[in-house]
Structure 1
Amino acid sequence: MDLRSLVGLPAVLLLFGLVAVFAQTAAPRIVCETKNGTSCEECLTIVTCLWCQKTKMCITYPVNTILPPHALCPLNDARWGRCWVNFQSLIIAMAVVGGVIIIAFLVCLFRCCKCEHIGRRRMKNAANEEIRNMRLSGSNPYSKFS
C-alpha cells in the first residue's frame, strides 16, 4: 500500500461517520406521547419511551435524571424495556447482582493473594529445611566443585 491510500482510508471513515451522525439527527423522531392510549407493549417499541402503569401514559424517558422522578411516575409503576419489569425490581436485582459480582471478585482476589503468599512461605520453608539438613549432616554441597 502506498501513503495516499493510508491517508485516504481515515478520511473516508470520518466522512461516513459524519454522514451517519447527520442522518440520525435529521431523521424524524417518534414522540412517545403519541403512543398514549395504547398498551405498554406498543409504547415500549420505542426505546426512548417509559410506560407508567398507574396513569397508563407513554412518556419520553427523562434522560437528564438517572431514574424517573416520583412526580412523573412512581418506580414500582414505571416500565422501561419490558412491560413485566418495574424499575423498583430492576434496581434491586441489579444491586444484588452487582454486589455478588463485587464480593466474588474480592474473594477471588484475596484467595489468590493468600495462595501466592502461602506458596512463597512453603518455598522459603523448604529452602530453610534443606539448609538445616545440610548443616546437621555436615555435608557441604559445594565440596564437589572444588
Structure 2
Amino acid sequence: MTRAETQHRSAAFANMIQTRTFLLSFLFFVFSFAVGFAQTTSPVTNCTLKSNTTCEECLKIVSCLWCISSQKCIDYPVKSILPSHSVCPLSDARWGMCWMNFQTLIITISVIAGVIVIAIFVCCFCCCKCENIGSRRNDERTERQAHLRKFRQEERKAEMKKRHDEMRLKYGLTKDNPYSRFENS
C-alpha cells in the first residue's frame, strides 16, 4: 500500500469519525433541547381547578392531562410514565394537544423515533459500506498498477538480455561453454 493510499484511507476514516461525532452531538443537542423545553412550564397551578372546563383550558398548563370520558383535568401522573387505565383510558386521555389522543401520540412518537434510529443505522452502514467499496476500488487499481509495472520490468529485462546476448555474440563471448575463451588462448 502506498503512502498516498494510506493518507487517503486515513482522511476517509477521519471524515467518517467527524460525521458520526456530528450526528451524535446533534442528537444530544436535540434531546437536551427537548428536555429543557419540557421542563419550562407555566406558573404552577392546580389542574383540578380546570376540571369541567374545556380541553384547551386544561392543556394550557403543561403538567395537566385532560380526560374526555370524565371531563376532568388532572395532574399528569409523572411517576408512572403512562397514565394508568384507572386514572383515564389512553384512548380518552389528551396531553399537549386536544385533537390527538394519548394512545395515538405514543404510537406516532414511537414510529418517528424508530424511523430516526433506523435511518441512523442505515447511514452508518452506508458510510462504512461506501468506504469499503472505495478501498476495494483502490486495491484493485493498485493491483493493476503493480501488475503493469511487473510486466514492463519483465519487458526491460528481456530487452537487456537480448542486447547482452548480441554483445556477447559480437565479441565472441557466447554462453554455450563458459571455458571456451580460455581454450582459444
Q: CA deviation at 1:134?
A: 0.9
TM-score between the two structures when normalised by the length of structure 1: 0.73
Deviations 1:96-132 (A, max 9, x none): 1111111111111111101101111111111111110
Please tell me the root mean square deviation across aligned C-alpha atoms, in Å: 1.5
What is the match of residue 55 of structure 2? 40
Q: CA deviation at 1:29?
A: 3.4
Aligned residues: 113
Bigger-Rg structure (1/2) = 2
How far, CA to CA, are the matches of 1:93 and 1:29 in structure 2? 29
Give secondary structure in 2 for the equivalent of 1:62. Answer: coil
Q: Aligned letter for 1:114?
A: K
Unaligned runs of 5+ in 2: 1-42, 157-185
Greater fraction of residues in helix: 2
How far, CA to CA, are the matches of 1:60 and 1:100 in structure 2? 31
What is the match of residue 145 of structure 2? 130
Q: CA deviation at 1:133?
A: 0.5
Tell me whether 1:69 sits opposite 2:84 in the alignment. yes
Give secondary structure in 2 for the equivalent of 1:30. Answer: coil
Task: Indicate which of 109, 112, 118 corresponds to 1:103.
Answer: 118
Q: Aligned letter for 2:85?
A: H
How far, CA to CA, are the matches of 1:106 and 1:30 in structure 2? 43
Q: CA deviation at 1:36?
A: 1.2
Deviations 1:35-93 (A, max 9, x none): 11111111111111100011100101111111111110000100011111111000110
Matches within 5 A, 1:1-146: 29-138=44-153
What is the match of residue 5 of structure 1? none
Q: Aligned letter for 2:98?
A: C
- In the TM superposition, structure 1's runs of 4+ consecutive aligned residues that sit over 4 Å from their partners are none
How far, CA to CA, are the matches of 1:30 and 1:103 in structure 2? 40
Give secondary structure in 1 for the equivalent of 2:148. Answer: helix
Give secondary structure in 1 for the equivalent of 2:147. Answer: helix
Q: Percent identity?
A: 51
Give secondary structure in 1 for the equivalent of 2:73. Answer: strand
How far, CA to CA, are the matches of 1:78 and 1:71 in structure 2? 11
How far, CA to CA, are the matches of 2:109 and 2:60 in structure 1? 23
